[in-house]
């Protein structure tokens, strides 16, 4: 049985392994990466510009480096409409930090940022159209009018989301997307590619039966914290929906329309209507 990779404890146990990181970077970027250091909850001191990486919201989940590469791996369970911008900021800050400490503008390492989403996207394009793709790239390079790329900077950011796996998803990407998906949806009998040595290593690391008592406790604590966070968000959303329903009732909208836009039941809406009538 696999541990749930949507859980931060399990995720970090898997992706702080140097061999796993090496395989992941090879499959996603076709780059040889031999990590020398791997850190979790990485923050920069002092802060960069107005971005304070000392705060809980501005730390890198996994931060690994070799002599010429810097790898960032982030997990995002709940999607917000600013997450694409947020991870672009994280990516750029890792570049800016090297330029700050360098004698010249040119950075001594190429930065690869990997953002793994476990929920569906709610982020949109500028025209408002919902983004729904399994793999999304952001390349920091130069292009001419014919589309020819010039590898000047080399920095790359990739977004992965298992909800949008397609028949055409390339095998290397599919292996990692399926691993995340199966750990969440089908942990007891996962359908994953164990011929991929990186996937096999992760499966061994997050085998639920092999987790230590300390890891199991940390895992439970993390689950409890997430459940409490979800409960608060649900309660806050319900309060917002009730306020929306009250406003729509004041505008004489039908119960059915209010239910469609708020998710409240017809019985709940009728009770609100009776309260307002009083």
Tally of domains in the chain:
2
37 within a domain of the structure (yes/no): yes
pLDDT, position 75: 87
190 within a domain of the structure (yes/no): yes
Global pTM? 0.76
Residues 56 and 179 in one domain: yes
- Count H helices and E strands in the chain, helices first: 8, 6
79 within a domain of the structure (yes/no): yes
Last residue of a domain, one of 159, 179, 211: 211
Give the list of residues 6+ apart from residue 138 with CB closer than 8 angstroms, or none: 88, 91, 156, 157, 158
The token duo for 185 is 């949806």
3-state secondary structure at position 55: coil
pLDDT, position 215: 66
Residues 16 and 150 in one domain: yes
Residues 40 and 178 in one domain: yes
221 within a domain of the structure (yes/no): no
Residues of the chain with pLDDT under 70: 46-58, 78-81, 101-104, 215-216, 218-233
Residues 167 and 198 in one domain: yes
pLDDT, position 227: 56
Q: Which ranges of 137-212 does DSSP label H, i.e. alpha helix?
A: 171-185, 197-205
Give the list of residues 6+ apart from residue 106 with CB closer than 8 angstroms, or none: none
pLDDT, position 159: 96
Q: State which residues form the domain around 46.
A: 8-211
Residues 118 and 36 in one domain: yes
pLDDT, position 165: 96
Tokens 């990516």 belong to residue: 91
203 within a domain of the structure (yes/no): yes
Residues 194 and 68 in one domain: yes
């Amino acid at each position: 049985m696999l541990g749930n990779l949507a859980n931060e404890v399990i995720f970090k146990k898997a992706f702080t392994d140097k061999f796993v990181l090496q395989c992941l970077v090879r499959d996603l970027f076709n780059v040889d990466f031999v990590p020398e250091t791997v850190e979790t909850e990485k923050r920069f001191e002092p802060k960069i510009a107005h971005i304070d990486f000392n705060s809980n919201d501005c730390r890198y989940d996994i931060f690994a480096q070799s002599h010429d590469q810097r790898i960032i791996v982030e997990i995002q369970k709940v999607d917000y409409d600013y997450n694409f911008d947020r991870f672009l900021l994280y990516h750029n800050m890792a570049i800016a930090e090297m330029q700050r400490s360098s004698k010249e503008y040119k950075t001594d390492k190429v930065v690869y940022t990997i953002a793994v989403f476990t929920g569906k996207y709610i982020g949109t394009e500028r025209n408002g159209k919902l983004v729904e793709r399994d793999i999304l790239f952001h390349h920091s390079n130069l292009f001419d009018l014919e589309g020819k790329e010039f590898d000047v900077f080399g920095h790359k950011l990739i977004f992965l989301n298992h909800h949008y796996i397609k028949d055409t998803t390339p095998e290397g990407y599919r292996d990692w997307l399926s691993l995340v998906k199966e750990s969440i949806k089908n942990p007891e009998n996962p359908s994953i590619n164990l011929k991929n040595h990186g996937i096999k290593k992760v499966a061994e690391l997050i085998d639920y039966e092999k987790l230590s008592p300390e890891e199991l406790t940390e895992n439970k604590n993390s689950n409890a914290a997430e459940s409490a966070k979800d409960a608060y968000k649900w309660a806050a959303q319900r309060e917002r929906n009730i306020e929306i329903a009250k406003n729509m009732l004041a505008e004489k909208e039908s119960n059915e329309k209010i239910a469609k836009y708020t998710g409240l039941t017809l019985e709940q809406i009728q009770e609100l209507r009776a309260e307002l009538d009083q």
